[in-house]
Amino acid sequence: MGKRLRRGRSICSCKSPRPSYHANPRCSFNWYEKDLWTEIAKSLDGKSLVKLAATCRWFHSVIMDDSIWRFACLRDLQVPEPGHVAFNWNKLYASVVDGSHSYTFREKEKHLDWMRIGAFYIESKVALLTERLNLPLEIRQQNATEKMFQSCGASVLNNIKTGIWIADLQLVRCPVCELDKCDGTMQTLDVRHIELFQYKGFQDGSWKYELIRNHKVEKPMKAASGGIFDLKHLNDRASAGIFNLKLWTGEPDDFQPKAMITFHSVAINTNLQVNDGLLTKYYMMRAGPDGEVVSIRISQQLL
């Protein structure tokens, strides 16, 4: 007869870490140490943090501390500390990584596809919106007036909510086309303050996008591009790199959308095939009638 298998120990449920001391009281190590696990948590990604927090109540109380999620959010987004925020960092982190974007909440029937670009930081409350990434050097390097920017198809937007902004590239159905089988599409550079999705005014639809201006070019265009810059940092070395199109926009026959993001700016570019021109529209969303600007869109469609 074969040997009978020895019965092993039964599987036990997860328990909180327990103190474990050596015989010598001077030489001891406590597994039940909050500071130790706080430091370990800073090396984990978001999914691992959630799994660890779900193991037991003790880990949940440690891992759900707001300081851990603030660290994870700033680390993963690679942005500076914004100071005070109105919501818990674990909720802000979730709104960035859970696959949500602005078209998730409304206009789903128009939405086709999207791509997360990344995060940048607005510090000065003033942003420059431009459809041209070849702005004249003399304008970029001087204290240009709003009228000078407008002459280049750009727009200056004030009262921007400072802090971390999330940037997406959206592909949506052309608004002038109502046919179900229409292949007409347009691209949208869609940026939002990191707190936007938490506000009731956005969730219930009472905050609306307002058209700032539009700019039509009725001649063939080589590319559809757009950029959003913290005006204070327009001449920073990193932001200036966006204007060097050869570095990141691809070859003329490469029609895949490209994006570039820096600490204080973001831009997109899509090389175009044969066309008759381009219509660019700038939109903004305020946090209430007189509130700060919390979302910006640059939408472009072929003529």
Q: What is the pLDDT of residue 102?
A: 93
The pLDDT of residue 22 is above 60:
no
Exposure letters 134-157 (e unless 16+ CB within 10 A, then b)? ebeeebbeeebeeebbeebbbbbb
Kindly tell me the burial class for residue 97, based on how many C-beta atoms sit within 10 Å of its own C-beta (0-12, 13-18, 19 or more).
middle
Kindly tell me the burial class for residue 112, based on how many C-beta atoms sit within 10 Å of its own C-beta (0-12, 13-18, 19 or more).
exposed
Exposure letters 34-67 (e unless 16+ CB within 10 A, then b)? eeebeeebeeeebeebeebbeeeeebeebbebee
| pLDDT tens figures, 118-137 | 999 999 999 999 999 988 77
CATH number of the structural domain 19-95: 1.20.1280.50
Confidence of residue 146 (pLDDT cuts 50, 70, 90): confident
Q: What is the pLDDT of residue 175?
A: 67
What residue spans of 128-266 are helical by DSSP H?
137-141, 146-150, 200-203, 237-240
Q: What is the pLDDT of residue 262?
A: 96
Of residues 140 and 214, the one with the higher pLDDT is: 214
Structure tokens at 60: 């949940």
Cα–Cα distance measured from residue 154 to residue 101, given in angstroms and rounded to the nearest whole number = 25
Cα–Cα distance measured from residue 51 to residue 64, given in angstroms and rounded to the nearest whole number = 11
Q: What is the pLDDT of residue 181?
A: 46
The pLDDT of residue 28 is above 80:
no
Q: What is the pLDDT of residue 177?
A: 55
Confidence of residue 233 (pLDDT cuts 50, 70, 90): very high
Q: What is the pLDDT of residue 88?
A: 96
Q: Does residue 267 contact residue 221 with C-beta atoms inside 8 Å?
A: no
Residue type, 187: Q
| pLDDT tens figures, 214-225 | 989 999 999 999
Confidence of residue 7 (pLDDT cuts 50, 70, 90): very low
Q: Where are the domains of the chain?
A: 19-95, 100-302
Task: Output the CA–CA distances (angstroms, integers) from residue 283 to 71, 203, 299, in the order listed.
Answer: 32, 18, 8
pLDDT exceeding 90 applies to what percent of the chain?
Answer: 63
Cα-flanking dihedrals φ and ψ of residue 112, to 5°?
Answer: -115, -50
Q: What is the pLDDT of residue 30?
A: 55
| pLDDT tens figures, 236-292 | 988 888 999 999 998 999 999 999 999 999 999 999 999 999 999 999 999 999 999
| pLDDT tens figures, 78-115 | 999 998 999 999 999 999 999 999 999 988 888 999 99
Computed over every residue of the chain, the mean pLDDT equals 86
Among 301, 300, 303, 302, residue whose Cα is nearest residue 130 = 300
Q: Of the given ranges (165-174, 182-191, 266-275), which has the lowest mean pLDDT?
A: 182-191
